[in-house]
């Protein structure tokens, strides 16, 4: 059976042809210290000396690596491995002369962090190696390649994400049985990590704020760790939580209310229904070929029409090896997002759908679901939260 890296590499030639790029050069060194975000997807190991991984639109796969690295190159990933001793410039230029590409994509991007693995020092070294050749003038951004490669999930990738989502939902179920009035955010955070250990999964992002635990109306949402604030009857509890299963992530948000369903305040119910309906409407709008900002617009209009201030982040990001996996963004055309919201959705992309609204007296209400884009729409990987999860009083 093909390894995950082999499955992803098999996608590259088609992507190069679709993006009209002749050659992709992944240019790295000392990857244990400075890992290009794309490397685990297509290589799965470390490289020490300056190394060039070359992929062409005709399907050739070539690695130029230091002679001490050559023996550790995983089998089945390349047609040829070219070792060197004194310097990489000569074999690199020789191989490029054989290929003679009109365009050479390198891993730099102003909009997509997942496609920006080329460091300033390595860019300088590359230009030095290509000095006196026509190839220095043929460098282009690999962002269109990497966005598609990370976004087009294989069957194996999607299976791992689905299992991560299922485990996340199971831990939320276990948490519901644990919750009670008077617990601190720290104690809830500890319980979740105990359950993660029991399920043998890791953190989808930094452990100190995974999950984000927000008890009551006074805690501002964000990338914040838990505090000693405690749950109280009549208050809301929000969690933003994801796990990493076999290298792939989930990312979900859930809302709890401390009290019986008949005690939920009207303003909380209105806020919850607005968020729930905006998520559902956005999911209805998702389909291959639509641009990211068009999906964001659907949810944003619902929030505005209900009289709420617009949420201050994108509606959705891609999920994969990272919780924020780069590529097309379901977001507004704001400066901070660059060109990412103009990206086009493709079948196999996995996105979050997430937004919040702010109530007058009870803080923010926020939900987040995970979906996969299908041939004619999308499919929820999570089970969308349809009602507030009530924790009955003691």
Structure confidence by residue, pLDDT tens digits, 49-62: 999 999 999 999 99
CATH number of 124's domain: 3.40.350.10
Question: What DSSP character marks residue 257?
Answer: E
Q: What is the DSSP letter of 110?
A: S
The burial of 226, by beta-carbon neighbours within 10 Å (0-12 exposed, 13-18 middle, 19 or more buried), is given as buried
Give percent of the chain above pLDDT 90: 96
Interval 163-196: pLDDT, tens: 999 999 999 999 999 999 999 999 999 999 999 9
Residues 141 and 176 in one domain: no
The predicted structure's pLDDT at residue 1:
76
**38 and 54 in one domain?**
yes
**Can you give the CATH number for the domain in which 241 is found?**
3.90.230.10
Are residues 368 and 235 part of one domain?
yes
Instruction: Select from 102, 125, 150 the last residue of a domain.
Output: 150
Domain co-membership, 146 together with 156: no
Phi, psi of 253 (to 5 degrees): -125, 140
DSSP-derived letter for residue 356 is E
pLDDT band, residue 223 (cuts 50/70/90): low
Same domain? For 219 and 242 the reply is yes
Per the structure, the count of domains in the chain is: 2
* Beta-carbon contacts of residue 70 (< 8 Å; ≥ 6 apart): 81, 83
Are 92 and 200 contained in the same domain? no
Domain of 34 in residue numbering reads as 4-150
Mean pLDDT over 222-236 rounds to 89
Average pLDDT over the chain, rounded to an integer: 96
Compute the average pLDDT of residues 333-338. Answer: 97
SS3 letters across 44-109 = CCCCCCCEEEEEECCCCEEEEEEHHHHCCCCCCCCCEEEEECCCCHHHHHHHHHHHCCCCEEECCC
Based on the domain organization, do 242 and 268 belong to the same domain? Answer: yes
pLDDT one-digit tens code per residue, 73-91: 999 999 999 999 999 999 9
**In terms of domains, do 146 and 158 share one?**
no
* pTM score of the predicted model: 0.96
Mean pLDDT computed over 119-128: 98
């Amino acid at each position: 059976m093909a390894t995950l890296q082999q499955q992803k590499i098999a996608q590259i030639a088609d992507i190069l042809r679709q993006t009209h790029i002749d050659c992709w050069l992944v240019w790295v060194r000392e990857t244990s210290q400075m890992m290009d975000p794309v490397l685990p997807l297509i290589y799965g190991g470390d490289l020490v000396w300056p190394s060039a991984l070359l992929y062409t639109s005709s399907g050739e796969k070539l690695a130029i690596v230091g002679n001490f690295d050559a023996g550790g190159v995983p089998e089945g990933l390349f047609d040829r491995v070219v070792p060197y001793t004194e310097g990489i410039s000569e074999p690199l230029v020789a191989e490029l002369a054989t290929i003679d590409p009109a365009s050479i994509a390198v891993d730099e991007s102003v909009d997509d962090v997942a496609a920006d693995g080329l460091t300033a020092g390595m860019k300088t070294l590359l230009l030095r190696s290509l000095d006196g050749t026509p190839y220095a003038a043929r460098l282009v951004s690999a962002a269109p390649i990497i966005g598609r490669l990370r976004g087009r999930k294989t069957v194996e990738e999607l299976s791992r994400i689905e299992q991560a989502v299922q485990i996340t939902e199971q831990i939320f179920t276990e948490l519901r049985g644990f919750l009670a009035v008077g617990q601190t955010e720290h104690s809830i955070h500890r319980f979740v990590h105990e359950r993660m250990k029991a399920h043998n999964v890791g953190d989808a992002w930094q452990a100190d704020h995974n999950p984000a635990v927000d008890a009551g109306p006074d805690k501002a949402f964000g990338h914040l760790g838990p505090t000693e604030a405690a749950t109280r009857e009549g208050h809301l509890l929000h969690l933003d939580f994801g796990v990493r299963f076999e290298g792939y992530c989930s990312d979900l948000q859930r809302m709890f209310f401390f009290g019986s369903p008949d005690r939920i305040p009207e303003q909380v119910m209105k806020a919850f229904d607005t968020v729930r309906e905006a998520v559902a409407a956005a999911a209805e709008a998702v389909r291959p070929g639509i641009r990211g900002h068009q999906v964001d617009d659907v949810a944003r209009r619902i929030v505005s029409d209900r009289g709420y201030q617009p949420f201050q982040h994108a509606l959705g990001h891609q999920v994969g090896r990272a919780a924020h996996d780069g590529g097309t963004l379901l977001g507004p055309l704001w400066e901070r997002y660059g060109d990412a919201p103009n990206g086009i959705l493709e079948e196999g992309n996995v996105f979050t759908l997430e937004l919040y609204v702010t109530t007058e007296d009870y803080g923010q209400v926020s939900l987040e679901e995970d979906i996969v884009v299908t041939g004619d729409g999308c499919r929820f990987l999570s089970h969308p939260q349809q009602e507030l999860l009530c924790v009955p009083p003691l």
